[in-house]
Amino acid sequence: HAVELDPRNVRALHAEMSALFFSKEFDAGRRVGEQALAINPNDTELMGGFGTRLALSGNWEDGCPLVEEARDRNPGPFAYYESILALCSYFSGDYAKAAMWIKKTTAPGNSLYHAIAAAIFGEGGYEIDA
């Protein structure tokens, strides 16, 4: 493990965190993500990735603010952040905000974008956009 060689290597911790979340080891992934963010709280790639993993694992209340902060502090990649923020708003029931975020994204070539947009526009009553 790269983490064993350098336990303060944020990229290695980020990779380990992602692997843990993908393995559905959410508590362990959260601990590693928190550890990495404590080492470098200014790493917006880590912040956005950690927030995304938290949110998509069902912890919207902790994950979404991290994604929003990463977007505010980093000039890109907006499409990544905006798609996740659209989901955050959707799952909190704020369909107007979800529609605003999904319309801002520049990733319509991504098939996941279309699934997210269809859910948002359909649930939000945006018939023309749906």
Whether 129 maps to a domain, the answer reads no
Structure-token pair, residue 41: 């709280």
Q: How many domains does the chain have?
A: 1
Q: pLDDT tens across 85-110, in order? A: 999 999 999 999 999 999 988 877 77
Task: Provide the H-helix boundaries in 1-130.
Answer: 2-5, 10-22, 26-39, 44-56, 60-73, 78-91, 95-104, 111-124
Residue 78: pLDDT above 90? no
Whether 100 maps to a domain, the answer reads yes
What's the domain range around 21? 2-124
Whether 130 maps to a domain, the answer reads no
pLDDT band at 6 (very low <50, low <70, confident <90, very high): confident
pLDDT band at 14 (very low <50, low <70, confident <90, very high): very high
CATH number where 46 lies: 1.25.40.10
Find the helix packing angle between 44-56 and 60-73, rounded to 10°: 150
Q: Report the alpha-carbon distance of residue 46 to residue 130 in Å, rounded.
A: 33
What's the chain's length in residues?
130
Q: What is the mean pLDDT of the chain?
A: 92
Whether 65 maps to a domain, the answer reads yes
Whether 112 maps to a domain, the answer reads yes
Q: Report the alpha-carbon distance of residue 113 to residue 29 in Å, rounded.
A: 26
Structure-token pair, residue 10: 């944020």
